[in-house]
Structure formats: C-alpha cells, structure tokens
Chains A and B, each alone.
Chain A
Amino acid sequence: MTDLLERPVQVTGGGTTLPRAVLEANPPKRPEVRRSNGMRISDLLSFVGAAVASLSATIVVFTQLAPLSGPIAFAALFYVIFMLFYALLVAADESAPVVRDRIVLVAVHTLALTVFATLVFVVGFSVIRGAEALPFFNFYTQDMSLAGPLDPLSSGGILHAIAGSLIQIAIALVITVPLGLTTALFLNEIPSPFARFVRTIVEAMTALPSIVAGLFIYASFILLFGFDKSGFAASLAISVMMLPIMIRSADVVLRLVPSTLKEASIGLGGGQWQTVWRVILPTSRSGLVTAIILATARGIGETSPVLLTSGFTAGLNVDPFHGPMVSLPLAIFEFVKSPEPTMIARGFGTAAVLMFIVLLLFVIARIIGGQTIAKRERRADRFRAIGSGFRSLARWTTDAAASALHFFHSRITRMRRPATPGPEKDGTP
C-alpha cells in the first residue's frame, strides 16, 4: 500500500506536450501492467515468519508444557498457533479488512488442500494396499472357486467379479438406455400436463435410496415371484436405481438444444420425427452419451442393491438367469470380511480394478462430451487439409491440442449451465 504512494507518478496525458528537453531527459515509461494478485516480499516474510514461530511454539508446548502426543494433535496445534501469529504479523502493517482477507485466504487454501489430499489418499490407499495383488496375472484370469482364503495371491482371481459386473451392467443398460432416452424425448418433445407429472415422479425417484431399490427387487422378483437370486435380478435392481438418474440428466441435455435449430427444421418442412432424428439427437449426441456413461459409472459401483439381489458365489457364472453372480463391489465387500491378509489384499486389488473401470468410463465420457457437430466438422476439414502438406499437419496438431483444451472447458461449463430461458415449451409442440 505505502510503496504505491511513494513511487513517483509520471504524467503523460494525451493533451499535454512536454518540452523536448524534458522528454529527452526522462523518456516516458510505458504504463506498467498492474499485477492484481502478485505477492509482495512482506507477504512472504509474514507467512514464513508465522510458520517458523508457530513451529517453534508448538514444539515448546509439546515437549515442555502440555501432555499432548500424536501427529494429528501436533498438526492441529501448529495450525491454530500459525493462524494467530499470521494474523498478528499481517495486522502489524495492514488494516483490519486486509487481515480478514488474509486469514480467509489461508483458510480456503487449507480446506481445499485437505479435501484434495484426503480424496487422493482414499483412492491411493486402495491402490497401495491392493498393489500386492495387482501384479499377478492370474488375478485377472482366474476365479476364486479353486482358491481358499489361505492360498497365496498366485492362485485365484476376480475374473468372476469382472465378468459379473460387465454382464449385469450390460443388461441394465439394455433396459435403461432405450427407456431412458425415449422418456427424456417424451418429456421434451411432447409437452403436456402428463409429461410434467412423469417428470415430477422421475425426479422424486432420484431420491430413492439404492438399498430400497434392492429391497424392492428382492421382495417382488425374488420373494413374490419366486425367482432365484441371479445376475438378472441384480440388473433389475441396478436399472431401477439408474433409470431416474439417466432420465434426469438426459432431460437436461435435451433441454439445451437451441430452439432455433428445431424451428429451422420445422420451418424447412421437416416433421417432428425428422426433427428429432436429424437435428435434436445429433446435436445432443455427446451430451446424451455422457449422461449414459455417468449413470453407468454410478450403477457399476453400487453395492447395496446387488448385495440383496445377486447372491454370492466364488465361481465364474456367465448365465445371468440361473445361479448367483457376483460383481466387483460385492466381491470387495465379501473379500474384506475375511481376516486373512491375502483376502484383504484381494479386496483392495478389486477396489483398484473397480476404480480403474470408473476412471475409464469417466475419461471416455469427457472425451465424447467434448465433441459437437461443429467440432467434428472442423476436424473433418482439418483432415482434408492434411493432404496439402506437413505444414498444415503441424498446425492441425497444435490447433487440435489448443481447441481440445478450450473445448473441454467450454463444453463442461455449457453442460453444467442451466438451460437458457427459451420460449415457453408447454404451449404448442
């Protein structure tokens, strides 16, 4: 604050003409770009000073004054004392609002760091504890039917769980994708009081706890109709859970299709079906795929509906209609019930595999979500341009990288932004 005032101010107004001698003596400086969030040396000093002082004070308290122990207590005490010292140091040469600003700055950074560190740790913990099991090739190619709890990691694996998860989620997708997309189209393209009612019910069902979805299938499909616990029952439970989630996000995506595009299609004489098939679906394709993939990621990781409906087996079963079929989350749950270290390592390894699948789905969703018609056209143009030589190829790669980055961002923000208030859709179709 003070150094700004002490700096000599250069007056180079547009209308003022300075004598040549003066101009030659001190030539006009280019206006300096103001740094809005730079760090001054005093900021750094007060930060480091507070840290050192707090560290010293904490060590004194720990070793001489209070009967405290443990790293958590140390970190907590250090943090509290650090905040006090930092506030004092900043208060020495700043005003009260600036002191508050600094304290919040530190607090927000700490909170964010805590969250990201903990989340990364949660994920990393599973991978590290499972690292024992992951390098074994048989972990991915065998099931547990011939491996007991005491067997080493070199026998037995989770092939049955991987196969079960894939089969169950495939059946669930076969059920939910056609129903979900048709319903989302119905909600958007055929507006009526009835459609609004359906939308309300679907939104209500997104609140259905997943265990209750499992209990419903258990009580109806298995107890009432007398079917066995099977992969198909698990798929039904997952479908009941996934369907509202998918409809809701597909509904949001379809609402984002610009009404000008639809009007242009109708204006050119296209019927409703042609508009849907040639305009609405291609425009929202990437968003719809993202909605499906995110619902899939949610469905594949759910344990509680599967726990009630699929039964448990240690062997590979690829027939979804007969016999129990285990999936990845359920396998994790059953593995870690055992006190044997190898079984627990298998459980963590399974968790790592499950997270890898979720991550893969997520990356695919992001890549597809970053595409639109305009983007695909641009890319096609660029491919045509490649023929003209290496220079255009080089430009294409840099351009593609830049636009991919830009697109990634703009697409995400657009997808998450609410529908722009367009014309009321509830009047005429």
Chain B
Amino acid sequence: MTLQTAPPDVARRLTTVRGTADIAFRSVARAGGIIVLAIMLLVGVFLAFRASQALGVAGFSFFTEQAWEPDAGKFGIAAVLVGTLLIAAVAIVLAVPLATGTALYITEYAPRGLQRFLIGIVDLMAAIPSVVYGLWGFFFLQGTITPVSRWISQTFGWIPLFSVDGVDPNDPLASPTVYTSSTFIAGIVVGLMITPIITSIMREVFSQAPLGEREGALALGSTRWGMIRSVVLPFGKGGMIGGTMLGLGRALGETIAVYMIISPIFVIQPHILQAGTSSVSSLIALRYGEATPFGTSALMAAGLTLFVMTLIINFAASAIVSRSRSGASS
C-alpha cells in the first residue's frame, strides 16, 4: 500500500450567485435607503444653509441678543432660549417624580390584573395629541393654579426664581392676571404631556430587573422598598436617565400647548411664576406668517439651534441607555 499524499488544502472560494428577484430586491431596498437618506440630509442641509444666512449677519450676537426684529438686524435667541429651557426644566422637575412613582407602581405594587391595563393606559396617553393638553391647560389649569402660584411667590418670593414683579404679595386683592400665562403653567402642561413617555421607558427598564436579585434581596430580609432601592433602581438607573432625557427632548420641541398658554415677550424672564415667557418653537409658530425671506432664515436659525439641542440630548440619552446594565431598551 502506498501512501498517497493528499493535495494541500486550499480555501474554497465562496461566491454568491444572486437570482433576478434578489438583485431586484437589493436594489429597491438600497434605493429606498438612499432616498430616505437624501430626504433627511436635504432637511438638515437646507435648514443649515438657510440658517447660515441669518447667522452670518447676526454672528455671535445671535446667542446674546434678546429682541427679535430680524429686519432691523437686531435679533437673537437669548430670551426665547432661556424661556424654552425654563419651561423644560419645570416640566422635568414635575414629570420625573411622577413618572418614577407611576413606573414603580406599575412594576412593583400594582395587582397583576391591573398591570396590563395600566400599561395600555400609559401607552395610550403618550399618543394623546398635544393640542388636547393645551386645551386643558388653557381652559382649566390657568384658572385653578393661580392660588398656588400666589402662595409660592408669597412664601418663596425671596428666591429670585419665584419672585413676581409689579405685585405686592401681601395684597389679597391683587389682580391674579400677573400669575397667568407663565412659564410655570406652560411647564406643568408640558410636564404632564411627557410623563407618560418617561413612565413608559422607566417601566420597561424596571420590569427587566433580574428576578434572582430581587428574590435575593427579599430573602435577605429586605423590605419591598429596600429591594427596590438596592436592586431595581440601581439596575434601572441608565433607563431612568435615558427616559428623562428623551422626555426633555420632547419638552424642548413642544409647540402648540406652550403657544396656547404663554403670552410671548422677548426679554429674558427669569421669574417663572410671572406672566409672559417665550420658547423657540412658539416663536416660530408666532412669526412665520409675517416673516420676510430674511426673517424666515432667522427663524430657521432658531429652529436649527433647537434641533441641535434635542439632537445632542437624544444621542446622549441613547448612549447612556445602551451603556447601562439594563441595555438598549429604547
């Protein structure tokens, strides 16, 4: 018997022969992707191009000027940006505790039968049009919240944020109109609007907290709150931060509910309880109609600033969520 030497192993070349249907599918799918990319880039580039015309004229004063008179060459987003941020801040301060409590209730405390129903309700509420929240804020909250605003300004008026100009806080007959149309009321409405969105994400993350660790904590004698504090909240921390930031992104971009409530002014208004504030999106809704081409490009610049802000917040949120232990759940 002779030893046959095997031919040396050669890696077999893999080729894929695609049928006509496959080639057609791949090109159609790729074309779809390219079209969508083109549309999205077109939006971004168009915004940036038109905005750059106004930004070129205004220069850095665009971020420091408070007035909005583009045709007089005097315009900037200092006032509207501060208004936007304050409204979003009030919204977040209100929404985060409410959302955390609701999410904890749904995942940890609610009876099983109720749980599914509540999840459905929260998801439905996240889809309620913002104009409905605006109606509620304008026709109901505006009138009801005034005593609360007055009480806060009387009690905490020594903090600049809560002081109200032009009213004697100790005069019980003072007109309540100074307390309407304020940052505070707009913030409450936006906060209620983003609460279901944040709740939905937090609930999702909390429900993924590992059962073994939950049972371990309970078996070691912890109370239910002890278990939540040592297992559920640390596990869901990334999701909580991410959900909050997504809610913040929505709060910054909210237009119509804010537009219905506030009375626009174009000076920096740091008193959140006082009538008159402004936001970038309501500025656009207010001024687009009468704007000259240059005015439109100034509005574009404001819109672009808002977009860049929400963009940064959204990317930061998804980075935090995907790096956290609870994983990429949004």
Q: Using a CB–CB distance below 8 Å, which chain A residues touch chain B?
A: 69-70, 72-73, 97-98, 100-101, 104-105, 107-112, 114-116, 118-119, 121-123, 125-126, 129, 178-180, 182-183, 185-187, 189-190, 194-195, 197-198, 201-213, 215-216, 218-220, 223, 240, 243-244, 247, 271-274, 276, 294, 297-298, 300-304, 307-308, 329, 332-333, 336, 344, 347-348, 351, 354-355, 358-359, 362, 366, 405, 408-409, 412-413, 416-418
State whether B46 touches A416 (Cβ < 8 A): no
Q: Using a CB–CB distance below 8 Å, which chain B residues touch chain A?
A: 18-19, 21-22, 24-26, 28-33, 35-37, 39-41, 43-44, 46-47, 50, 97-102, 104-106, 108-110, 116, 118-121, 123-125, 127-133, 135-136, 138-140, 144, 147-148, 151, 192, 195-196, 199, 204, 207-208, 222-226, 228, 249, 252-253, 255-256, 260, 281, 284-285, 288, 293, 296, 299-300, 303-304, 306-307, 310-311, 313-315, 318, 327-329
Name the residue on A nearest B99 (C-beta).
Answer: A115
- Which A residues touch B39, using CB under 8 A? 240, 243
List 22 A-B residue pairs with CB atoms under 8 Å apart, sorted by A's residue number.
A73-B151, A111-B98, A111-B102, A114-B98, A122-B136, A122-B192, A125-B140, A198-B37, A201-B37, A204-B315, A207-B314, A240-B43, A272-B22, A276-B25, A298-B127, A301-B129, A303-B131, A329-B131, A336-B139, A351-B135, A362-B123, A412-B120
State whether A355 touches B128 (Cβ < 8 A): yes
Known A-B contacts A108-B104, A333-B256, A351-B131; the reply to A202 vs B40 at CB < 8 A is yes
State whether B116 touches A219 (Cβ < 8 A): no
Known A-B contacts A210-B255, A303-B129, A408-B116; the reply to A183 vs B314 at CB < 8 A is no
State whether A271 touches B22 (Cβ < 8 A): yes
Further contacts, 5 of them, CB under 8 A, given A116-B121, A272-B26, A329-B131: A112-B104, A211-B281, A303-B255, A351-B135, A418-B329
Q: Report the separation of the CA atoms of residues A332 and B139 in the bound assembly, to the nearest whole angstrom.
A: 13
Name the residue on A nearest B303 (C-beta).
Answer: A212
Q: Report the separation of the CA atoms of residues A422 and B91 in the bound assembly, to the nearest whole angstrom.
A: 38
| Least distance between B10 CB and chain A CB atoms (Å) | 20
Name the residue on A nearest B317 (C-beta).
Answer: A207
**Pairs of residues from A and B, 9 with the lowest C-beta to C-beta distance, nearest first:** A111-B101, A301-B129, A182-B32, A209-B253, A112-B105, A101-B223, A186-B33, A304-B255, A186-B29
Known A-B contacts A215-B284, A307-B285, A336-B135; the reply to A118 vs B30 at CB < 8 A is no
- Which B residues touch A201, using CB under 8 A? 37, 40-41
- Which B residues touch A336, using CB under 8 A? 135, 138-139, 260
- Which A residues touch B136, using CB under 8 A? 121-122, 125-126
Known A-B contacts A123-B132, A211-B284, A223-B293; the reply to A204 vs B25 at CB < 8 A is no
Known A-B contacts A104-B225, A206-B314, A418-B328; the reply to A271 vs B130 at CB < 8 A is no
Q: Report the separation of the CA atoms of residues A244 and B307 in the bound assembly, to the nearest whole angstrom.
A: 14
State whether A111 touches B22 (Cβ < 8 A): no
State whether B293 touches A273 (Cβ < 8 A): no
| Least distance between B116 CB and chain A CB atoms (Å) | 5
Q: Report the separation of the CA atoms of residues A272 and B29 in the bound assembly, to the nearest whole angstrom.
A: 12
- Binding site of A, secondary structure by majority: helix, strand, loop or mixed? helix
Q: Which of A100, A198, A212 contacts B306 (CB 8 A)?
A: A212
Q: Report the separation of the CA atoms of residues A187 and B32 in the bound assembly, to the nearest whole angstrom.
A: 10
- Which B residues touch A247, using CB under 8 A? 36
Known A-B contacts A219-B300, A351-B135; the reply to A123 vs B225 at CB < 8 A is no
Known A-B contacts A247-B36, A298-B127, A416-B204; the reply to A109 vs B281 at CB < 8 A is no
State whether B303 touches A301 (Cβ < 8 A): no
| Least distance between A47 CB and chain B CB atoms (Å) | 15
Name the residue on B nearest A182 (C-beta).
Answer: B32
- Which B residues touch A302, using CB under 8 A? 129-130
- Which A residues touch B35, using CB under 8 A? 179, 183
State whether A108 touches B105 (Cβ < 8 A): yes
State whether B102 touches A347 (Cβ < 8 A): no
Q: Report the separation of the CA atoms of residues A209 and B253 in the bound assembly, to the nearest whole angstrom.
A: 5
Known A-B contacts A111-B105, A179-B32; the reply to A304 vs B132 at CB < 8 A is no
- Which B residues touch A272, using CB under 8 A? 18, 22, 25-26
Name the residue on B nearest A308 (C-beta).
Answer: B288
Name the residue on A nearest B103 (C-beta).
Answer: A112
Q: Report the separation of the CA atoms of residues A220 and B329 in the bound assembly, to the nearest whole angstrom.
A: 36
- Which B residues touch A351, using CB under 8 A? 129, 131-132, 135
| Least distance between B249 CB and chain A CB atoms (Å) | 6
Q: Report the separation of the CA atoms of residues A392 and B139 in the bound assembly, to the nearest whole angstrom.
A: 55
State whether A301 touches B121 (Cβ < 8 A): no
Q: Which of B108, B132, B199 contacts A126 (CB 8 A)?
A: B132
Name the residue on B nearest A220 (C-beta).
Answer: B46
Q: Report the separation of the CA atoms of residues A129 and B103 in the bound assembly, to the nearest whole angstrom.
A: 30
State whether A307 touches B256 (Cβ < 8 A): yes
Name the residue on B nearest A294 (C-beta).
Answer: B127
| Least distance between B254 CB and chain A CB atoms (Å) | 8
Name the residue on B nearest A189 (C-beta).
Answer: B29
Known A-B contacts A107-B101, A354-B129, A416-B204; the reply to A209 vs B255 at CB < 8 A is yes
- Which A residues touch B304, using CB under 8 A? 212
Name the residue on A nearest B188 (C-beta).
Answer: A118
- Which A residues touch B110, using CB under 8 A? 112
- Which A residues touch B108, using CB under 8 A? 108
Name the residue on A nearest B98 (C-beta).
Answer: A115
Known A-B contacts A100-B223, A308-B288; the reply to A119 vs B196 at CB < 8 A is yes
